[in-house]
Amino acid sequence: RSAGRLSEAALNRSLPPKKEQACRCQPLRAVQKTMAAAVEAPVLEAPAVDYKHSLLAGREDYDKMYKRSIEDPAGFWGDIAKGYHWEQQWEDDHHNHNFDVAAGRISTEFFKGGRTNIAYNCLDRHVQEGRGDVDCLLWEANDPGTDRRMTYSETLAEVCRLANWLRAQGIKKGDAVAIYMPMLCELPIAMLACARIGAVHSVIFAGFSPESIASRIQDCKARVVLAASAVKRGKKAIDLKSMVDKALDVSSKEGFEVKKCLVCHNASSGSGKEVTHMKDGRDVWWDTEIPSQKPESEVEWVHSEDPLFLLYTSGSTGKPKGVLHSTGGYMVMAGTTSRYVFDLQPGDVYWCTADCGWITGHTYLTYGPLLCGATNVVFEGTPTYPTPARSWQVVEKFKVKQYYTAPTLIRSLLGSGNEHVTAHDRSSLKILGTVGEPINPEAWKWYSEVVGEGKLPIVDTWWQTETGAHMITPLPGVFPAKPGSATLPFFGVAPAMVNEHGHEIQGPGEGYLCIKQAWPSTIRTIFGDHDRYETTYFAGFKGLYFSGDGCRRDEDGYYWITGRVDDVINVSGHRIGTAEVESALTLHPKCAEAAVVGYEHPIKGQGIYAYVSLREGEALDDALKKELVMTVRGNIGAFAAPDVVHWAPGLLKTRSGKIMRRVLRKIASKEESQLGDTSTLADPGVVDQLLSNRP
């Protein structure tokens, strides 16, 4: 076995048999436990905030609109969609969906027959309406002191130049283009250029390893890669181009050739062009190719259901799934949620700290805010560099009005001293948002009291890569918040809370979180594997989309998300499939088998806990631990590196050979007094061994 990319064998081991029941859920009992813990935690009162939403007068407005959105989705979304430019009107019966596997192919259609272009709606529309001189992108480099402003007109011109270059490479509507870039203005520009010509972008977070890049490029067959030379994150300079080079070598050996790689030289990384390796005939520089292109380019009018992008995300089994979103519905829901949840209006300075490599950066950095004509902060660095005050320096500098971040950042800041926050003028802030994982009451409180001085609404937005846009979320000033609750469903979203038999629970209670009917930005398919799409999301509970999350609903109908109930762990708001980490670990020649679970981590939310059993005669010393961690970093990316490696002489299997993850989770979270029933274990003695050799 080479230390190469995930071998077929390794992948197959973790793939479910076809049509296996989708939900490898934790039993509701386990879910209820975590929920009980959440409920027992002191319930905080949210301060009454004085915020006037520009579109909704209050709860009654919301109730009325919500009711119509569920009863008449075609009419509701049709009216909203009129606010966007359509080159061709959609048909009268534009909205259809089937969420029931027994009734045939799972499908969702919105605005069928309509033709539009999301990049046109993000840029040209504003320029034509006289907002060309409004700032579109405000870029802040990793190191303070370097920044860049681009107006809507300038951004449009840059997008057109790149669109022309892509066309010159033979990229046409429907072709995939891979993007591996840090947070430079060129990243949203690259996404918009693809959208302009109808190409399907696949952004790969610039932290994934060459192996991960290679498998994504090959899965979507991207012939062109848009990349950057390097990036500095905090003090650390990272050579990104060499990662791409390795990925393209791997692909090439496996018979897939990328024809062109356009490389953006990132001067803020501190290194000159000469240190970047460029392969003759394949690699070209952005700054020699793009400036000479024409600043206008024809718009490709695409059908509403034509694909817009692919984004790979981890599931509970197998290799990452290429989540596919289509154009019209995604556009309307991205724009509408941005407009209502952030109350975004043209010219508002808005900052989302997410990277475009994840869904939040797609919907709430590139598309949603630009559809609203907002001024978007694009931040290259880490929000705690050079000091924990950086976020608030940037807020003060650009006069940010809406700030959207992840609980993990809030947790890391709250320990580093309030003076970092209070020393900076935050009077421009009007709305604070969070996303990515459940926010604990302590973090909520600090965000509200210290950052918001008790005066700002907090929007705790629950959604997923698959949902494309906010699903359950507060609307500022419209209904009262409860710290830790994502509150109520957005327009068009019909949640269902079900028990393990798929029966819907009415009123207050606890269960698995599903959605009953299609919303405009519903995931349309898993690229290249519609079967897996149906099995993963729709086969578990009849007629419902299953989110993979557990939730509780209180007497006011508010939803409290309790986290994943499948084998997906959420590390600093990043989804990681335990199966992927296990496959990577077993690539190490000394590792016989691995089982990975999540455990509570004070900053990251969840940490990665890896149990490994070794080949005959091997012992787990510090050097081997390091090698195992490096194997994961090399095969997936640094963010998936296990926090704990625990030597397991046996992996706690039942007599039928199933790993008892429930017990492994308990041991990882040091709750050995609550191991529960272990009588079905093939060798119950392993439990004691595991407890006695804790790392």
Q: Which of residues 418-457 bind ligand 6R9 (CB under 6 A)?
A: 435-438
CA distance 368 to 102: 35
Cβ burial of 50 (10 Å; 0-12, 13-18, 19+) is: exposed
Task: List binders of ligand 6R9 among 69-128 (CB under 6 A).
Answer: none
> Does 260 interact with ligand 6R9 (rule: CB under 6 A)?
no
Q: Using CB under 6 A, which residues numbered 530 to 589 contact ligand 6R9?
A: 547-549, 561, 563-564, 570, 573, 575
Query: Could you tell me the two tokens for 553?
Result: 């609903």
Question: What end-to-end distance do the CA atoms of the chain give, in Å?
Answer: 28
Residue among 89, 464, 669, 689 that touches ligand 6R9 (CB under 6 A): 464
Give Rg (Cα) of the chain.
Answer: 24
Of residues 171 and 488, the one with the C-beta less far from ligand 6R9: 488
d(CA 491, CA 340): 10
Q: Which two structure tokens, joined as six digits, stand for 451?
A: 């950052």
* CB nearer to ligand 6R9: pick between 564 and 625: 564
| Residue 599 sits in the site that holds ligand 6R9 (CB under 6 A) | no
Query: Shortest Cβ distance from residue 214 to ligand 6R9 (Å)?
Result: 22
Which residues make beta-bridge pairs with 116? Answer: 86, 302
Smallest gap, in angstroms, from Cβ of residue 355 to ligand 6R9?
11
Question: How far is it, in rounded angstroms, from Cα 494 to Cα 483?
Answer: 22
Map the footprint of ligand 6R9 across residues 479-508, applying CB under 6 A: 486
Residue 30 CA to residue 27 CA, distance in Å, equals 6
Q: Is 502 exposed, middle or buried (0-12, 13-18, 19+ CB in 10 A)?
A: middle
Task: Rank residues 199 and 352 by Cβ distance to ligand 6R9 and give the closer one.
Answer: 352
Return the residue of 62, 342, 392, 462 that touches ligand 6R9, per CB under 6 A. Answer: 462
Cβ neighbours for 65, distance < 8 A, ≥ 6 positions apart: 56, 76, 491
- Active-site choice (219, 245, 549, 566): 566
User: Distance between CA 301 and CA 587 in Å, rounded?
Assistant: 46
| Those residues with Cβ within 8 angstroms of residue 79's Cβ, 6 or more apart along the chain or in another chain | none
Q: Does the footprint of ligand 6R9 cover residue 463 (CB under 6 A)?
A: yes
Helices vs. strands in the chain: H and E counts, helices first: 23, 31
Q: What is the dihedral of CA 347, 439, 140, 475, to 10 degrees?
A: 0
CB of 351 to ligand 6R9, least distance (A): 17
Distance of CA 189 to the CA centre of its chain: 19
Residue-by-residue DSSP string for 111-127: STT-EE-HHIIIIIHHI
Kindly tell me which of 78 and 548 has the beta carbon lying closer to ligand 6R9: 548
- For residue 687, the SS3 value is helix
Question: By beta-carbon distance, which residue lies closest to ligand 6R9?
Answer: 465
Q: Which residue, 169 or 464, has its beta carbon nearer to ligand 6R9? A: 464
Quote the least distance from Cβ 577 to ligand 6R9, whole Å.
11
Residue 566 annotated among the catalytic residues of the structure: yes
Choose between 363 and 391: whose C-beta lies nearer to ligand 6R9. Answer: 363
CB of 76 to ligand 6R9, least distance (A): 23
Binding piece for ligand 6R9, criterion CB under 6 A, among 283-291, 386-394, 459-467, 535-543: 459-467
Residues in 352-411 that interact with ligand 6R9 by CB under 6 A = 358-360
Of 163 and 439, CB closest to ligand 6R9: 439
Shortest Å distance, C-beta 313 to ligand 6R9: 5
Q: How far, rounded to the nearest angstrom, does the alpha carbon of residue 70 sit from its chain's CA centroid?
A: 26
Helix 661-668, helix 685-692: angle, nearest 10:
20
Is the Cβ of residue 115 or residue 319 nearer to ligand 6R9 in the bound state?
319
Number of shown-chain residues binding ligand 6R9 (CB under 6 A): 24
Binding flags for ligand 6R9, 329-358, as an x/- string (CB under 6 A): -----------------------------x
284-323 residues near ligand 6R9, rule: CB under 6 A: 313
Residues at the contact surface with ligand 6R9, assessed by CB under 6 A:
313, 358-360, 435-438, 460-465, 486, 547-549, 561, 563-564, 570, 573, 575
- Active site positions, annotated: 566
